[in-house]
Amino acid sequence: MSAIPPSFHSLEHEAPFQQCLTCDREFEEIDDPYTVTKVFKGPECVFEYAMCLPCRRNLARSFSEESQQTMKKFFEDNDHLAWRSERLAGKEDHRDWIAQCATCATPLAELTDYSLACMGFGDQMIIDPFPMMVCARCEKDIQSRLSKTTRDQWDKFILDNFEGPPADSLKPDGIPILV
């Protein structure tokens, strides 16, 4: 584990994320890990949030069984993820982990649209398989495999938790589903 770097801090608050988006529990007061997700369109972060693992699991359970299995299979069958973990074993610099798309190995330097995700515990970042970067092409590939019910559920989550430009800027492309 290492300190959560500023690239995973909240741009809105100019500080580390302090609480879960959905349950409002403070991360320093809970015994659960949490994820931070940031979506970039060009140089701009258009969307960011942090969610504790129990809330993340609840959201994932609201997705169709078919989509849950599809996502699980997509990540389990991806040889690059396993290779990535082996190649980066022991490295704690987050830049090593986000230098390429976690699922297709496209270098970050070649991308304009992508998402970043890390897993934290308190003020520390958990290493392997996070942090990770997923390119927009892979995100669209994952989304194309999901059921309409799941895509609708994710859209509802976005609309319920974000208003105005963040939610609007993600349509119709969508965002990654709980990478």
Confidence of residue 157 (pLDDT cuts 50, 70, 90): confident
Q: What is the mean pLDDT of the chain?
A: 86
pLDDT (0 to 100) of residue 168: 47
pLDDT digits (tens, 9 = 90+) for 39-62: 999 999 988 999 999 999 998 888
pLDDT digits (tens, 9 = 90+) for 65-89: 998 888 888 888 887 888 888 888 8
Per-residue pLDDT for 32 more than 80?
yes
Confidence of residue 172 (pLDDT cuts 50, 70, 90): very low
User: Is residue 112 situated within a structural domain?
Assistant: yes
Kindly state the average pLDDT of the residues 87-93: 88
User: Is residue 61 situated within a structural domain?
Assistant: yes
Helix (H), strand (E), coil (C) string for the chain? CEECCHHHCECCCCECCCECCCCCCEHHHCCCCEEEEEEEECCEEEEEEEEEHHHHHHHHHCCCHHHHHHHHHHHHCCHHHHHHHHHHCCCCCHHHHCCEECCCCCEHHHCCEEEEEEEEECCEEECCCCCEEEEHHHHHHHHHCCCHHHHHHHHHHHHHHCCCHHHHHCCCCCCCCCC
Domain count of the fold of the chain? 1
- Domain residues for the domain of 86 are 2-151
User: Is residue 178 situated within a structural domain?
Assistant: no
User: Is residue 85 situated within a structural domain?
Assistant: yes
